[in-house]
Amino acid sequence: MSKPDFLTSAQRTISLEASAVSDLLNHLDQHFVDACQLMLNCSGRVIVTGMGKSGHIGKKIAATLASTGTPSFFVHPGEASHGDLGMITPNDVVIALSNSGETAEVVTIIPLLKRMNAPFISITANPNSSLSKAAAANLHIGVEKEACPLGLAPTSSTTTQLVLGDALAIALLEARGFSAEDFAFSHPGGSLGRRLLLKVNDIMHSGSAIPMVKNGTPLKDALIEVTQKRLGMTAVIDNNNVLQGIFTDGDLRRALDNNVDLQNTLIENVMTPNGTTVTAEMLAAECLLIMESKKINALIVTDETNQPIGALNMHDLLKAGVI
């Protein structure tokens, strides 16, 4: 036996599947528009079904739809004939996947869907199949050759099914005006959810944990406040608790470079006047952008009267998973 050429095999497979996906552009027509409209107008759920490898792709399509604003779940066609058809209502839209369009388990439930008046969309490679002809909209994947050299293992066909499912999901996402924040509500446990849902108020230090000194405080006492609160800075306020400035590690380095007298110098003479502030309702991800753009490591949180109500630093964002 000759030594297997793994790279050549991989390149051929990728080339064939890429070509199949590219050909999808030639098969998009009014049926795709009709399918999107059916799903957009659906008052129930989008039910996805398919057998074998098409079933695996169907599960992923259902998951993608559900996470992008189109309520959806997968129903196994074999189980549908044994009771799970009760999951489908006339208010639902069904997407049925079958490369041949003649998969027995899928074709069997067509009359039942027709009887309950639940519209369905087919995704097939055969526009003349039973499934295609019965569908309200047939999405033709047009795959003539699988990447499998035996022509048996579903490869190019399942790849195009998946891409077409993504095209449906994104078209609906855009039509609904689905936002990044909407997406985050479907992914609260992931890093994206943390980045998009977490607000400054959720992670800031508040109350006595805020490093804060008043105008007239000697620099040596301000340094004690910075050290005790461990945020690398302190807010500087007036007698009405209004923010006057911020003193950071960077300000300390500059003061030392200028041989400032730590015992007798007042904090207002070495602080950064005003300083960069944020609000409690701001997204934590926005704070990260501010810190990165201004090359700073800490921020004061102020209210509408410019009084400090919180503080946070880069470590807080890291600990919260925003970074």
- pLDDT tens across 116-168, in order? 999 999 999 999 999 999 999 999 998 878 888 887 788 999 999 999 999 99
pLDDT at position 190 is 58
- pLDDT for 223 equals 94
User: How high is the pLDDT of residue 149?
Assistant: 83
Q: Are 147 and 13 in contact (CB under 8 A)?
A: yes
pLDDT for residue 56 is more than 90: yes
Tell me how far apart the alpha carbons of residues 120 and 113 are, in angstroms, rounded to a whole number.
Answer: 8
283 pLDDT more than 90: no
In this prediction, residue 192 carries a pLDDT of 59
- Cα-Cα-Cα-Cα dihedral sign, residues 146, 150, 153, 155: negative
Q: 1: pLDDT confidence band, cut at 50, 70 and 90?
A: very low
Question: Residue ranges of the domains in the chain?
Answer: 6-178, 200-319
DSSP H/E element including 160: helix 156-176
Give the model's pLDDT for residue 2.
Answer: 62
Q: What is the pLDDT of residue 229?
A: 93
User: What average pLDDT does this structure show over 279-293?
Assistant: 89
The pLDDT assigned to 262 comes to 86
> What is the reported pTM?
0.64
Question: What is the CATH code of the structural domain delimited by 200-319?
Answer: 3.10.580.10
- What is the amino acid identity at position 118? A
Fold of 6-178: Rossmann fold (3.40.50)
**Residue 235 near residue 319 (C-beta atoms within 8 A):** no
What is the average pLDDT across 210-219? 95
pLDDT of residue 181: 62
Residue 191 has what pLDDT? 57
pLDDT tens sequence across 170-190:
999 999 887 666 665 665 555
Q: What are phi and psi of 285, to 5 degrees?
A: -60, -35
The owner of tokens 């490869």 is: 155
Dist. CA 274–CA 116, nearest whole Å: 67
**Distance, CA of 273 to CA of 159 (rounded, Å):** 59
Would the pLDDT of 235 be above 90? yes
Is pLDDT at 319 greater than 70 in this prediction?
Answer: yes
Of residues 156 and 321, more confidence is placed in 156
Q: What is the pLDDT of residue 145?
A: 82
Residue identified by tokens 């999405």 is 139
